[in-house]
Structure 1
Amino acid sequence: MQFNATSRSVQGSSASRRLRRAGRVPAIVYGGDAAPLSVELDHNEIYHALRKEEFHSSILSMQLEGKSSQVLLRAVQWHPYKQQVLHVDFQRVAAGQALHTKVPLHFVNAEASPAVKLSGAIINHVLTEVEVTCLPNDLPQFIEVDLGNIIAGASIHLADVKAPKGVTFPGASDIVIATAIAKPGGAAAEETAAE
């Protein structure tokens, strides 16, 4: 995914307010060997890009003064009640340098699992994203979690998820990412009522 940026020379809160009134968003690009760089973005372009999941978990191509740079979205500041982006942080990406970032989890086959089909359980997604470490070329847009074999009352831990090639999960592997919670008065209660 790519987006356009323009260099900004004037900084400070009053300059940022003027930018926002003009439909622009102040942003910063940091990391790598170069000094932090202040840029500005078109509000509508970045607002619509931020609504796409892959924009948050992909290596982005920033077009700045005819040059393309690889960056990763790090932080977004939103207005407390308006649909307005106030500030964006990007980190430069170096090809041989490992990244530490969060990637969304996509849960599949929940409806086909014994927990849902046989027990009428509810699948609870404890985590919706997970911390990963990998090289930029190995960064996945999402990680798929197969819930096809989960039974009622069981949990799926991070250790049960197969990491894509070149990706590792730093930290504890016993973190619960999904559980199958039996509904009160589910299938077992219906059988008792039928007797």
Structure 2
Amino acid sequence: MSTDREQLEKDALIACQAVDYYDLADNISEMSDAELQRIIDYNEKPLESASPTSRETATLLAALRYWQSVTTGMDYKEAAALMPEMFTSETPLLDEDIDALAEKLNTPNPSAYSALAVSTRHITEEDSKFLGQLSRAPSAMHFMERETGYFIKMPECEDALVKTAHGLSEITVALMVEVHRAGYHMLELDRDAEEIGGFPVFDW
């Protein structure tokens, strides 16, 4: 297999919807380059990243620096008067405060811990029962049961995640993989949480 083909298959697996991941993995060798490219080009990801993308960060920094240039020499009251609808209860950042925020945006925080709450309707009743068993196991490290659902701690790498999820359905594993890829550290399955697009819903 050529390097280009290997990269194309890898990119397609990353781009595909989580619920299609296993079907694609099973049949990827039979698909043409054009079919794989269509998956990459047109498949929308159902989850937003836990952190701003580099493009989003660059735009935020540009907006900050523009605001800083416009408000140079102003006090808080004068700056707030430029956009009064945005500063009804807070004062705007100026000068050194903007520098500090720009530095924060430019410096990743490895200790930041993010969680995504998802409706339990995205897992089957059988998986819910199995998660309960996993949570009560003496060696349980990644699963915790609570009254309204479960917490699932994401392992560091995707291979470890798949091993951790052994015994769960492909649908639930695919959801966990998608959450992991989006950069979240914890999946919170909760009966009161919102449903998300791109995943099946189960009534039980």
How would you bin the TM-score normalised by the shorter chain? Answer: under 0.3
Normalising to structure 2: TM-score of the pair? 0.25
Normalising to structure 1: TM-score of the pair? 0.26
Q: Which has the higher strand share?
A: 1
Q: Which has the higher helix share?
A: 2
